Chain A
C-alpha cells in the first residue's frame, strides 16, 4: 500500500514537472508576438519604439526561456502560481473564479454523458441488429461526426436566437450585480453549454459501451446464463452490467481529458468564462504563467481520474482484490516453506 502511494505521488510530480516545462517551451516557440497579440492592432501600429520595448520587457520576450522557467518554478515551489500578465492579476485569483464555472459545466456533462451513454450503449447491444439498435447507432454516429463547436452554434441558433429560451452567452445575465444573482440564473446560463458537451460525449460513450456489451454477449458466461434460461435482458442485468462496469469506468475517466478539450471549444462558442476560454486567451497571448497553471490543473484532474479508476478496479474486480491477497498468502507460505 505504501509503495502504491509513493509510486503514484512520484508519478504525479513528474507529470506536473513535464507539463509545466512543455507549456513554457511551447509558449516560447510560439510564432505569436505577445506584445502584438495583447494590444489593439491600431494601438500597436502607432506605438513608439520605446513603448514597444517597454512592453516587450513586461512580457519577458527578451528573457531567455530557462530564466523565465526557473523564476516561475521557484515561485511555484513557494506556492505562488505567478501573475497573469494578460489579466494583470494573480493567476490563483483568475483561476479560482473560472474554475468553478468550468467545474459545474464539466461535472454536469460528465455525469449526463456517462449515464446516458452507458444506458444507450447497453440498450443497443441487447437489441442488436434491431430497430432500436439502428436508431441509437445512427444517432451516435452522426453525433460522433459532429464538431462540438458547430453543435454549440446550432443549439444557440435554435434555442437562444429563434426560441429565446436560453441566454446567448456568458455565465451570468448582463447588467445584473452579483448580489442579485440567483442560482436559477446561473443554471439557465449553464444548460446550453452543458447540453452541447454532454450530447457530444454521449455518442462516444454509447458506441464504446455497445461494442463492449456485444463482446460480453458473446462471452461464455453470458451464453451460459442464457442457456440456463435467463432472457437477454435478465442475463444483462445479472451478469452483463457488473462485467461492463470496469470498461465503463475506464472510459468514463478517460473521458475527463476529452471533456476538457471539448469545454475549451464550447466555452468559446458560448462566451462562457471558464478555464477553457481562459486557456485560449492565455495561449494566444503568450501568458505562460496562466497557461501553465491551467495545464497543471487539467493534468491533475486527468491523473486523478485515472487513479480513481485504478483504485475502483481493485474494489470491483475480485480477481484483483482477492487475487492479490491469495498471492500474498502464497508468497508468505512460500517464504515460510523455503529453507532460510
Chain B
C-alpha cells in the first residue's frame, strides 16, 4: 500500500466532504442508489486507484528472460456505502477473488499493490486491513470446503475467529452467540454437532454466513456465495445477505452472474479488463440510456429479457477476461463468431 500520498489524500478527502452527496450525479466514479448512505460523511469502504500487479518472467523469452510486470487489476475504484448491497460483477478468472483477498489484507507474496483503500474514513495499509478482517470485515466463502473438515461446525464457529484461544466467559459468550445465530437462521441445535461434510447445500450456506456474523462485521464480502444454483434459488439464497443489509450492514457481493446482481443488489459495479468500468445503481439498468459505458450497454442488450443480442457498435473493447456467459448469450442470439480476444492470458479462448 502506498502511504506516501496519505496527507495529500486526507486533504482531498476533506475538500470532498464539503460537497453535497444528495445528488444522484456521479462522484467518486459512481452514482448512488436510494439505500446508499454516507454514514459519518464517508463511504464505509472506498478503494481508489488500486492496481495489483505481478512480476514475472516473459514466458517465451527463455534464458534471456527479463522480469515484466503484469497488472491483473489496474486503476480500480469502488465504494461501498453503509446499508447497501453492492454487487461486483465480472467474469471468472478476472481477479475478483484477488480483489477480495486484498481487501482482507491478504496480499499475494509476489504482488505489488498500489493505490488507496479507506475503511470507515481511515486510510488502510496491509497491516491494518489484516487487523480489520474478522472484526469489521468478514468473508463469506464460496463453499463448505472453507471449513475445517475435521471439526464440528459449532465448535468451529465459536472457537475460531479473531478471538481465538479465548477461555472462560468469552468462550461461553461466543458459544451462546453461535447458538442464537443458528437458531435465528433455522439451523437446529443438532447442526452444531455436525461435521462440514454432513451439511446439506442450504445448511452449508447459512453456516458460512453465520461464520461471518459471529464477528459482528460492518462489511461482509461474499465471494460467489451461490455456486451452481439457478437464478431463482440463488436469489433466495442471497436473502440472508439482503436481510443483513436491511439491518444496516453492508455487503460486497462478488459474482459472475449479472442477472443475480440485478435482482438482489442496490448497486452494480461492472468489473472488466481488470478494473471497474461502471459502478451504478441497479435502477439505471432499466434502460441503456442511463448506462454510461458501451460495454455496460452491450451487457444490457445481451440480457435474455432484452434484445439478447450483440450491438456491434457498442461492444466496447473486447478484453481477454470477457465472460463466456456473456459471449455465449450473444453467440446464441446472433450466430456470430465469438468476439476477438487479445492474445495475452486468454484462458477462455
A33 within 8 Å of B by Cβ? no
Bound-state CA distance A220–B147 (Å) is 8
Collect the chain B residues with CB atoms within 8 Å of residue A234's CB. Answer: 164-165
Whether A228 contacts B150 by the Cβ 8 Å rule is no
A residues 51-84 in Cβ contact with B at 8 Å: none
B198 within 8 Å of A by Cβ? yes
Bound-state CA distance A29–B124 (Å) is 76
B13 within 8 Å of A by Cβ? no
Collect the chain B residues with CB atoms within 8 Å of residue A39's CB. Answer: none
CB distance from B126 to the nearest CB of A (A): 13
Whether B139 contacts A228 by the Cβ 8 Å rule is yes
Bound-state CA distance A238–B161 (Å) is 10
Collect the chain B residues with CB atoms within 8 Å of residue A318's CB. Answer: 149-150, 195, 197
CB distance from A329 to the nearest CB of B (A): 12
B134 within 8 Å of A by Cβ? yes
Bound-state CA distance A230–B163 (Å) is 8
Bound-state CA distance A221–B160 (Å) is 12
Whether A239 contacts B162 by the Cβ 8 Å rule is no
B36 within 8 Å of A by Cβ? no
Bound-state CA distance A239–B155 (Å) is 11
Whether A317 contacts B134 by the Cβ 8 Å rule is no
Whether A221 contacts B145 by the Cβ 8 Å rule is yes
B residues 104-138 in Cβ contact with A at 8 Å: 104, 106, 133-135, 138
Collect the chain B residues with CB atoms within 8 Å of residue A317's CB. Answer: 150
Given contacts A225-B160, A318-B195, contact A239 B106 (CB under 8 A): no
Whether A243 contacts B148 by the Cβ 8 Å rule is yes
Collect the chain B residues with CB atoms within 8 Å of residue A230's CB. Answer: 134, 160-162, 164
Bound-state CA distance A221–B141 (Å) is 10
Whether B147 contacts A221 by the Cβ 8 Å rule is yes
B321 within 8 Å of A by Cβ? no
CB distance from B205 to the nearest CB of A (A): 14
B146 within 8 Å of A by Cβ? yes
Whether B134 contacts A229 by the Cβ 8 Å rule is yes
Bound-state CA distance A220–B223 (Å) is 13
Given contacts A221-B145, A317-B150, contact A322 B215 (CB under 8 A): no
CB distance from B92 to the nearest CB of A (A): 17
Chief secondary structure at chain A's binding surface: helix
Nearest neighbor of A246 in chain B, beta-carbon distance: B150
Bound-state CA distance A221–B164 (Å) is 16
Collect the chain A residues with CB atoms within 8 Å of residue B141's CB. Answer: 220, 224, 227
Whether B164 contacts A224 by the Cβ 8 Å rule is no
Nearest neighbor of A318 in chain B, beta-carbon distance: B195
For B134, B138, B159, which residue has the most chain A Cβ atoms within 10 angstroms? B134
Whether A227 contacts B151 by the Cβ 8 Å rule is no
Collect the chain B residues with CB atoms within 8 Å of residue A226's CB. Answer: 106
Collect the chain B residues with CB atoms within 8 Å of residue A237's CB. Answer: 165
Whether A239 contacts B151 by the Cβ 8 Å rule is yes
B211 within 8 Å of A by Cβ? yes
Collect the chain A residues with CB atoms within 8 Å of residue B134's CB. Answer: 227-230
CB distance from B38 to the nearest CB of A (A): 27
Report how many residues on chain B are interfacial, defined by Cβ distance under 8 Å.
28
Nearest neighbor of B157 in chain A, beta-carbon distance: A228
Whether A228 contacts B148 by the Cβ 8 Å rule is no
Whether B148 contacts A221 by the Cβ 8 Å rule is yes
Collect the chain A residues with CB atoms within 8 Å of residue B135's CB. Answer: 229
Per-residue contact bits, chain B 157-198, to A (CB 8 Å; 1 contact, 0 not): 001111011000000000000000000000000000001011
CB distance from B298 to the nearest CB of A (A): 34
Collect the chain A residues with CB atoms within 8 Å of residue B139's CB. Answer: 224, 227-228
Collect the chain B residues with CB atoms within 8 Å of residue A224's CB. Answer: 139, 141, 146-147
Whether B197 contacts A323 by the Cβ 8 Å rule is yes
Per-residue contact bits, chain A 209-234, to B (CB 8 Å; 1 contact, 0 not): 00000000000110111111110001
Nearest neighbor of B164 in chain A, beta-carbon distance: A234
Whether B150 contacts A242 by the Cβ 8 Å rule is yes
A319 within 8 Å of B by Cβ? yes
B residues 194-248 in Cβ contact with A at 8 Å: 195, 197-198, 211, 215
Whether B159 contacts A228 by the Cβ 8 Å rule is no
Whether A319 contacts B195 by the Cβ 8 Å rule is yes
Per-residue contact bits, chain B 20-38, to A (CB 8 Å; 1 contact, 0 not): 0000000000000000000
CB distance from B297 to the nearest CB of A (A): 36
A residues 286-340 in Cβ contact with B at 8 Å: 316-319, 322-323, 326
Bound-state CA distance A322–B151 (Å) is 13
Bound-state CA distance A326–B195 (Å) is 12
Bound-state CA distance A226–B130 (Å) is 9
Collect the chain A residues with CB atoms within 8 Å of residue B150's CB. Answer: 239, 242-243, 316-318
Nearest neighbor of B132 in chain A, beta-carbon distance: A229
B133 in complex: contacting residue of A221, A228, A239, A316, CB < 8 Å: A228
A225 in complex: contacting residue of B104, B145, B148, B195, CB < 8 Å: B148
Bound-state CA distance A221–B198 (Å) is 16
Bound-state CA distance A223–B97 (Å) is 13
19 chain-A/chain-B pairs, Cβ below 8 angstroms: A220-B143, A224-B141, A225-B148, A226-B106, A227-B104, A227-B134, A228-B133, A228-B134, A228-B139, A228-B162, A230-B162, A230-B164, A234-B164, A238-B160, A239-B160, A242-B150, A316-B150, A318-B149, A323-B197
A-to-B contact residues, CB < 8 Å: 220-221, 223-230, 234, 237-239, 242-243, 316-319, 322-323, 326
A224-B141, A227-B133, A228-B134 known, 12 other contacts, Cβ within 8 Å = A224-B146, A225-B148, A227-B104, A228-B139, A228-B162, A228-B211, A229-B135, A237-B165, A238-B148, A239-B148, A239-B160, A326-B198
